[in-house]
Amino acid sequence: AQYFAPDGTLILEKRYAEGDIVAYRALGKDGVMGSWVAATPDMAIVAYYASGIKAYEEFFKNGLLEGFSREYYADGRLLSEYNYHQGEKNGPFLVNHPNGKVWQKGTYDAGSMQGIVEFFNPDGTRFRTETRRDGTMHGKSTLYKNSKPVKTLTYWSGTLID
């Protein structure tokens, strides 16, 4: 698998066997793609932009993603942060616009989006909220203009009902 930074730069490659990561190589602080490294059960993978700024980081425990996984813009600002527990997304997540303001935030539970997910414009104003159950839209979804609600829709297991 190949991972690219928002600017299109290849920053990380991973090799898998039967669903498990077996090796990786990442772009180093010097802007050079490193050699292949054998995966270990407890490891950190960090990739950089050619400028030396961190582009990506994730951590493994017992061979599974554990803790935070972060991606950064080329200027060092946080692009996204997801939390993992035993290989599944679990806990709050955040995705930011290039200007550093929040674009999307919500919560995962056992690998699925749960509860309220909020979406924001680059100026920070809310433009949508969704209610998720097991990753599927379920409940109220509200559209906003100038951060004020203008329309509310209701979903049941992903199907619009109102």
Longest dimension (CA), the chain: 55
Contact (Cβ atoms closer than 8 angstroms) between residue 2 and residue 13: yes
Q: What is the pLDDT along the chain (162 residues), one digit of tens a residue?
A: 999 988 888 999 999 999 899 999 999 999 999 999 999 999 999 999 999 999 999 999 999 999 999 999 999 999 999 999 999 999 999 999 999 999 999 999 999 999 999 999 999 999 999 999 999 999 999 999 998 999 999 999 999 998
| 24 burial level (CB within 10 Å; 0-12, 13-18, 19+) | buried
Give the pLDDT confidence score for residue 104 in this predicted structure: 98
Say how far apart CA 49 and CA 18 lie, in whole Å: 30
Q: Residue 123 corresponds to which tokens in the numbers above? A: 């100026």
Contact (Cβ atoms closer than 8 angstroms) between residue 53 and residue 62: no
Helices (H), 4-138: none
